[in-house]
Amino acid sequence: MGECRHLAIIMDGNGRWAKAQGKPRTMGHLAGADNVRNIAIAANEAGVKYLTLYAFSTENWKRSEEEVGYLMKLPAYLFQKYMKEFMERGFRIRTIGELSRLPAATAKVLTDAAEESKNNTGLNLIIAINYGSRREILLAAKHYAQDVLAGRPEDLDEEGFSRYLMTEDIPDVDFLVRTSGEQRISNYLLWQIAYAELMFVPESWPEFTPEVLNRCLQAFGKRDRRYGGVHESAES
Ligand code: IPE
Ligand code: IPE
Ligand code: MG
């Protein structure tokens, strides 16, 4: 059975989930934040080593000031409530995305969590916040160009280029799951999902329980990942 080392999730559908219950969209985001804890624990128990969660995209600034403000407070809520438990479980908190453009208090909560957990060797819980893959690739190209100008005209291969990305030493995504029925990538990990298996589930993020996750992982385990090759059983 194929191993899912790196699971990436597009946590979508919080707003619709709340609206369906006659609640404001922000209540969906709050339920979604609590679900981050449940799914991180379940993924860790299932043997996942890297869990990358899309919390806020570079495009999400288009939303109302009220909604953006609410979303920016959720990291503080999450880590105040669950950091002790994450530490006990050995989770290493990391981020991808430009923290410098976040409210200072939000950036601080995230860098503090990363600093506190940096020596942990368990699940890498990676929060993608103010993250956009095109921006990531653009910044990587600029950074490489600067290194070349500074006298490092080293031949660049795919492995070398990937080290300029925000995911640096994090392995490629094995499995990408998007909740709430939308079937698009929304500027997420474009380079890193080159050979990922994809799954789109109807459940919204607050409804995405550990049981649903385990069902997805089971289905992933049955996929035949060929990477452009041919499996022996299929050769004649
Ligand atoms: C995902 O839920 C959370 C973020 C994108 C921040 P949405 O807020 O996109 O919820 P829907 O898709 O509008 O229901
Ligand atoms: C993608 O969801 C971003 C996050 C989950 C953080 P969106 O809800 O923003 O994506 P679109 O706009 O439907 O593509
Ligand atoms: Mg959405």
Report percent pLDDT > 90 for the chain.
Answer: 95
Residue 233: pLDDT band with limits 50, 70, 90: confident
Q: Which mutation among 9, 12, 21, 23 tests ligand 1's pocket best, with the greatest number of atoms within 8 A of CB?
A: 12
CATH no., domain 6-221 = 3.40.1180.10
Mean pLDDT (whole number) for 139-166: 93
CB of 56 closer than 6 A to ligand 1? Answer: yes
Tell me the per-residue pLDDT of 106-127, one tens digit each, with 9 for 90 and over. Answer: 999 999 999 999 999 999 999 9
Please say if the pLDDT value at position 1 is more than 70.
Answer: no
CB of 10 closer than 6 A to ligand 2? Answer: yes
Residue 236: pLDDT band with limits 50, 70, 90: low
Mean pLDDT (whole number) for 171-196: 98
Tell me the per-residue pLDDT of 72-102, one tens digit each, with 9 for 90 and over. Answer: 999 999 999 999 999 999 999 999 999 999 9
Torsion of CA 100, 106, 111, 116, to 10 degrees: 180
* Average pLDDT taken over every residue of the chain: 96
User: Which ligand does the CA of 67 lie closest to?
Assistant: 1
Report percent pLDDT > 70 for the chain.
Answer: 99
> What spacing in Å lies between the alpha carbon of 119 and ligand 3's midpoint?
34
Question: Which residue ranges make up each domain of the chain?
Answer: 6-221
How big is the CA angle at 93 (ends 219 and 42), to the nearest 5 degrees?
30
Distance of CA 230 to the CA centre of its chain: 30
- Give residue 78's pLDDT: 98
- Give residue 2's pLDDT: 79
Distances (CA, A) of 34 to 27, 29, 159: 11, 9, 35
From 52, 70, 50, select the one nearest 60 (Cα to Cα).
70
Cβ-contact 8, 127 below 8 angstroms = no
- Give residue 163's pLDDT: 96
Sign, CA torsion 105/109/115/116: positive
Mean pLDDT (whole number) for 40-63: 98
Q: Which mutation among 186, 187, 193, 204 tests ligand 2's pocket best, with the greatest number of atoms within 8 A of CB?
A: 186
Report the atom number in ligand 1 closest to the C-alpha of 11: 1
Cβ-contact 130, 101 below 8 angstroms = yes
Task: For the beta carbon of residue 129, count every other beta carbon within 10 angstroms.
Answer: 26
- Give residue 152's pLDDT: 84
Mean pLDDT (whole number) for 169-191: 98
- Give residue 154's pLDDT: 77
> What spacing in Å lies between the alpha carbon of 185 and ligand 2's midpoint?
8
Mean pLDDT (whole number) for 46-55: 98
- Give residue 98's pLDDT: 98
Strand extents, DSSP E, 132-219: 175-178, 197-200
